Chains A and B, each alone.
Chain A
Amino acid sequence: DIVMTQTPLSLSVTPGQPASISCKSSQSLLHSNGKTYLYWYLQKAGQAPQLLISEVSSRFSGVPDRFSGSGSGTDFTLKISRVEAEDVGFYHCSQTLQTPRTFGQGTKLEI
């Protein structure tokens, strides 16, 4: 199985300030088709996760542009340019290169 490791596990940010979360995979997520199958989700309290980013850097419909994803191979980053109160929750990275799909441990973002 591909192991996904997130850092930090907890993050406290002042509104308006940037935030960054790292996700590392135990093997490259680059497919032979040239695509990299790394995803980011936000899970707010008491809710199901919601998709933020597909294939490293493609924002899902309706996701604010303050969210951005980057990286390649085994090292990836989610950045929030200016954190807002509504951004609190757990952030999860995931890989869909192989089954079983796997997730990081989750990073708790607090204000």
Chain B
Amino acid sequence: QVQLQESGPGLVKPSETLSLTCTVSGDSINYYWWTWIRQPAGKGLEWIGRVFPSGVTEYNPSLKSRLTMSIDTSKNQFSLNLKSVTAADTAVYFCVRDHYFDNSGIRVAFDTWGQGTMVTVSS
């Protein structure tokens, strides 16, 4: 059973870069897209973007100018870098398996989530 674990600093200063890593265990990272989603306190979920093992990425246009995602298949890890952060980037960040297809051909989306990591942007 696949498991995801986020890691990274819990506090980032304004204008600096937020960097998080997600470690995948229980399955190979090579078969799926991998996604980051965030949730400010008391608010809804925001899709940040996703990365494929080949390195292909898709980003939320609202964050694209500040965002870089990467993947290290040798370590079964994928990463998020968000530069020039402000207080508006304060949120719980989740890494998520994007989707797979079940035996019936159903696209099962966001089926596996990390526990989430709280990142606060403050000086």
Q: Are B99 and A96 in contact (CB under 8 A)?
A: yes
Q: Known: A48-B94, A96-B99, A99-B58. Contact between A104 and B44, CB under 8 A?
A: yes
CB-CB under 8 A for A39 and B44, given A58-B104, A96-B99, A100-B61: no
A50 touches B113 (CB 8 A): yes
**A33-57 to B contact mask, C-beta < 8 Å, 1/0:** 0010101010000011111001100
* Least CB separation from B115: chain A residue: A48
Given contact pairs A48-B113, A49-B113, A60-B111, A101 touches B106 in the complex (Cβ within 8 A): no
Q: In the complex, A99→B104 CA distance in Å?
A: 24
Q: Does A24 contact B (CB under 8 A)?
A: no
Q: CA A101 – CA B33 in complex, angstroms?
A: 13
Residues of chain A from 14 to 38 with CB closer than 8 A to chain B in the complex? 35, 37
Interface residue tally for chain B (C-beta within 8 Å): 24
Contacts of A94 in B (CB 8 A): 45, 109-110
A106 is an interface residue with CB less than 8 A from chain B: yes
Question: Is A103 engaged at the interface, CB distance under 8 Å to the other chain?
Answer: yes
**B47 contacts across to A, CB distance below 8 A:** 99-103
Q: A48-B113, A54-B108, A55-B107 are in contact. List 18 more A-B contacts (CB 8 A).
A: A37-B109, A48-B115, A49-B94, A49-B113, A51-B108, A51-B110, A54-B109, A92-B44, A94-B109, A96-B107, A96-B109, A99-B58, A100-B49, A100-B62, A101-B47, A103-B45, A103-B47, A104-B44
* Bound-state Cα–Cα, A16 to B9, Å: 44
Given known contacts A50-B113, A100-B61, A105 and B106 CB-to-CB distance under 8 angstroms: no
Nearest neighbor of B60 in chain A, beta-carbon distance: A100
Using known A-B contacts A99-B58, A100-B61, determine if residue A37 contacts B45 with beta carbons closer than 8 Å: no
Q: Known: A48-B115, A48-B116. Is A103-B108 also a contact (CB below 8 A)? A: no
A49 adjacent to B106 (CB under 8 Å): no
Kindly state whether residue B46 has any CB partner on chain A within 8 Å.
yes
Q: How far in angstroms is the closest Cβ of chain B from A25?
A: 15
